[in-house]
Amino acid sequence: MEIKFSKWHGCGNDFVVIDAGQYGRVIDSRRAVQMCDRHFGIGADGVIMVGNSAVADLSMRIINSDGSEPEMCGNGVRCLALHARRAGLVSGSCLRVETLAGLVIPEIVATRAGECQVRVDMGEPRLEAAQVPVITCERQFINRTLAVADQCWSASCLSMGNPHCVLMPPDNRPLSDELVRRYGPLVERMDIFPRRTNVEFVRFSRDNEFEMKVWERGAGQTLACGTGACASLVAGVLAGRLARRATVRLDGGQLTVEWDEANNHLFLTGPAQHVFDGYYPLPD
């Protein structure tokens, strides 16, 4: 059996996009791991299955490269939006997408250069510790010290429909891949995170710009994370380091995040690009 797929990426965070109605029954976590393998499969950070929805225009289910299933993905939903229009699944520029984190609304917008970007209403950040979840005796875990192995970090834990732990080095040191790979997996699986967590490492340059590297729950180090960019902006604002609108510089490109003061929603804007289409033969 062969599965028809499209390969997309948002700032280097890449996905295999397939039709859930046609292939959903045969794509389980084991199959998704095979497809995401960068040596023996298609290669991706995750598989996105696009399906019908009773409450929205489309539904989005994601399986990470390790077989786990996250609630939401900001880069993934931008890829889904442009894929849906390219495939004729929707006709307008704005659509409603059902996810495990709730309803997400991406809007396709054009830049001055004529390129398509997608602006996503990511909803409100959830700051209560029980909503992340993170185990603590306090109601919130915002701007707290977190000891990880031999290093102490200023940390904020919040949810964007999925859990995030934003780490801010006290000396604002330059970020490195070595730093991410050393501390990312340790934080992801700390006992205080019963559902594990995504881990963002941030460095501030100006109040409207910051650098971020990410260790994603279930995928490891990736080139970008949309929900992580939103969580990092919130953490930076609450720490008094960022304005409510900022550019995020990631390994795979740039995103813009805005935290609207009027309705408390976060808006994520960035690119998504089609890479190629193909057919994948399912291994026995």
Catalytic residues: 73, 225
| Residues 145/155, Cβ–Cβ less than 8 Å | yes
Q: 161: Cβ–Cβ under 8 A, 6 or more apart, which residues?
A: 71, 72, 99, 100, 101, 102, 122, 123, 126, 227
Show the tokens assigned to 168: 């801010």
Cα–chain center distance at 217? 10
Pairing of strands 151-159, 273-281: unpaired
Identify the CA nearest to 77 among candidates 261, 270, 243, 236: 270
**What's CA 180's distance to the chain center, in Å?**
16
- Neighbouring residues of 264: CB distance < 8 A, sequence distance ≥ 6: 124, 125
- Angle subtended at Cα 180 by Cα 175 and Cα 183, rounded to the nearest 5 degrees: 120
What is each CA distance from 101 to 67, 90, 112, 197, 229, in whole angstroms?
18, 22, 32, 15, 16
Tokens 């299955």 correspond to 49
Nearest CA-CA partner of 151 in 127, 173, 131, 169: 169
